[in-house]
Structure 1
């Protein structure tokens, strides 16, 4: 009896969805050996740059430049440089183990039930960071409110509410399908465009009435902290460059990109070790590329704030943060440039909001799994929880902004919380390095020295931040 090839076939039973967090021998992939192949496999660093550039560089760094002038330029360089080595070490552990950062934090004693003390600290820190994320969403909404005041006056409550709802809704719709590729492409486009524009503006300032020269740059490299700026400087150190939450999130993006999956399960063979070394090398290039982007943006924003806003005694505050920052463009290029700035400010803040809205639901989902609320290894349940949190967390952050309406303050509070948590991340990195990373992967003397210097700088930051939180004065600097 002939079989009708056109007859409808019974649907095949759906198999388990692909799990980027599972290590299977069938998924291993040889790492690239040339630069062209390496560049094709970059990506997590762009998402990281999108998460960093908006809050720290646009808001806090420019505000510090406006307040302190050129004298804290050295802190910008130190802040971005010292953290990247901790980020690389943590991501290396992730590639070797196949586990994201929060699972590693849970292995650092002492433990409290199912989780470790660093997990508990992360939960507390993330509540502080909610205000920072609300400030980022609010900054994007404020830019749109001034650019297109379709409801009421610019920066009025009706206008801010309308644009805040619009920003949150667009983010939720973009991220609901939870696809890594969409997140990476969105981050890449916004970061590249605004980085180029910002760097060109900073380099072009000497051709305007707000130029700077070698003497200004030299004064910024004298390692001095002027009176009245120490607290602001600490917040900037905590939030510019790669922060603790970005270091943590980076491990998830490395996994979803494929670095750990392509390395494969640890079978003790030399082939697996060779693949691990190759993908770790790719990750290092990715992390350093993100560091270069963050450093260029940070230096550019600081120079712009110091050269344009500081001489006019303009410091971004409250909802007027956007209009004050727009003076950077209008005072150098003319009134028409306000529209250029508002569009650019929205782009960079929106990209940061996208990165945060994509990453934080993953961190909370993993945390709920560690607490035993559900099985993290169940892919369908994991994706369902991520989607639910993607729908609920951004509106919650936006409510913080609508209540406080002070993007600069909200970002600074998040920066202080991140500074405290950064010390815990360093402790976790050294613990996991000593207990779970084979000696052959502990790098050479140069990288180890960089990691030690990073640890010392971050520890000093953490001690100062804790003292400040408890009201203990240690001097204002000068």
Structure 2
């Protein structure tokens, strides 16, 4: 056997995307036994607790005050059922999201219409993730300027290049364990700091009370805040990209492989439902993390920035956002904020690079460029995108240099694609998910409510894009 053949055989033996009888493992029961099998949600949380929270949610709080607090809560909660349902299909079939999207009729040439729309989403995300790299570069540049003014083009360019090259070097191996552990560390650091500061605001001059919170739960959207609200709804909580790439991390953790191929037996159904329950716990834990993170950022924007008329924009976004900390704790807190901003924005980069690399590779596989089931070819293409994507994102930022606008454009496109994701989820549930794995009646109701809310978001987003602002 040649060395190449041996490597291919070894990769196939442990390939999380290949369902074999040898890979079967009994699912754990209860939280204590399940804890070591959680992890995909941490990677997803690393992506979520980043651009949406630090940039879009804080900017919305600064612009609208407490009045849209209700939207923050709904935006994190309403999309979880769709995320879980798509992951259920993945565990049952061993296939990732874009392979499923490609099955939804009608087809347009060689590609399904959902994947065609996904390409549009991916192009807009070049701007959004470019904004993430830009925000992180700005934070590094303010902390340690290189080549001149902290927000000048030379320093921003140097730091953007350092971030792109450093990300490629760290993530080139595409080790699931490395990605999961790095995400966990980044999420814990900044979420803990931010929640503590948000809870401590009532003890500062920028305090908020029960009246502010109750007023924020009235279902109102003030005129002038509709565009930011739509972008926030699309980008905070589980967005279309997170719903999609969560399936890849569920596979790489091992949920589908441990379930094994569907042989029609009751044993298989029992195992599948067991690992689906583990996935429920994983999704719930991630929901708790990003919901508290989102609320903390919104409260800080509403309580500190809104009364002063400060709204984050342009490359000065980081400076404006730092006022949340310096105005609350004093000038010394600027360094604390910058380190925290690097952690939260860096966590998004950490999760986005390997996630989008897998999705782009899967798209090419649906077009026949490679065999997705070939672990060697799949890893080769994932590594290619691990190199190419950070470079593209960096170029986008250096060309535009407006992180807030770049992130909000991605948010609007995400809101539109969410509708296509819902259509795909219902199609796959009806045609491919074993009925024995369907959730109970309560979950079915949640899925209907979630789907309806996302559909309304899509309609509202389209109307806003064409200048038809309902209630504006």
Q: Report if aligned partners of 2:146, 2:154 keep a CA contact under 8 Å in 1.
A: no
| Residue 302, structure 1, aligned to residue 298, structure 2 | yes
1:72-471 aligned at under 5 Å gives the runs 72-469=68-465, 471=466
State the TM-score, normalized to the length of structure 1.
Answer: 0.96
Deviation at 1:439, TM superposition (A): 2.3
Q: Deviations over 1:348-393 (max 9, x none)?
A: 1011011100110110101111101122222111111111111111
Q: Are residue 46 (structure 1) and residue 69 (structure 2) matched?
A: no
- Aligned residues of 1:330 and 1:336 also touching (Cα < 8 A): yes
CA distance in 2, matches of 1:445, 1:472: 39
Aligned mates of 1:378, 1:222 — CA distance in 2: 52
Q: Give the counterpart of 2:470 among 455, 471, 475.
A: 475
1:406-427 superposed Cα distances (whole Å, 9 cap, x missing partner) = 0000000000010010000000
Matched, 1:60 2:56: yes
Counterpart CA distance in 2 for 1:33 and 1:375 is 36
Which of the pair has more CA radius of gyration?
Answer: 1
Secondary structure, in 3 states, of the residue corresponding to 1:32? coil
The offset of 1:112, in angstroms, is 2.3
In 1: Cα distance, 2:390 partner to 2:439 partner = 39
Contact 1:228–1:476 under 8 Å retained in 2: no
Unaligned runs of 5+ in 1: 1-9
- Cα distance in 2 between the residues matched to 1:472 and 1:76: 23
Q: Secondary structure at the match of 1:290?
A: helix
Question: Using the alignment, how far apart are the partners of 2:144 and 2:469 within structure 1?
Answer: 46
1:11-44 C-alpha deviation (Å, 9 max, x unpaired): 8944341321000000000000132111110000
What is the deviation of 1:472? 4.2
Structure 2 match to 1:3: none
Other-structure match for 1:5: none
Structure 2 gaps of 5+ residues are: none
Could you tell me which residue of structure 2 aligns to residue 71 of structure 1?
A: 67
Quick one: structure 1 residues 310 and 472, their matched pair in 2 at CA, closer, same or farther if it must change by over 3 Å?
A: closer
Q: 1:28 & 1:114 partners in 2: Cα distance?
A: 34
In 1, are the aligned partners of 2:27 and 2:274 still within 8 Å (CA)? yes
Deviation at 1:57, TM superposition (A): 0.5
Q: CA deviation at 1:150?
A: 2.5
The answer to whether the 8 A contact 1:316-1:324 is kept is yes
Q: For the residues of structure 1 that align with 2:125 and 2:205, how far apart are their CA atoms?
A: 38
Q: Distance in 1 between matches of 2:330 and 2:6?
A: 63
Secondary structure in 1 matching 2:446 = helix
SS in 2 for 1:395: helix
Deviation, 1:441, is 1.8
**Is 1:36 matched with 2:32?**
yes
Q: Aligned with 1:345: secondary structure?
A: helix
Cα distance in 1 for partners of 2:116, 2:375 equals 25
Q: Is the 8 A contact 1:114 1:372 kept in 2?
A: no
- Counterpart CA distance in 1 for 2:315 and 2:166 is 22
Cα deviation code 1:208-240 (max 9, x no counterpart): 000000010011001111111011100000000
Aligned length: 467
Report the Cα offset of residue 343 of structure 1. Answer: 0.4
SS in 2 for 1:446: helix
- Per the alignment, in what secondary structure is the counterpart of residue 154 of structure 1? coil
User: CA separation in 1, counterparts of 2:264 and 2:141?
Assistant: 58
- Per-residue deviation, 1:475: 2.8
- Tell whether the 8 Å contact from 1:16 to 1:379 is kept in structure 2 after alignment: no
Contact 2:269 2:436 in 1 (8 A): no
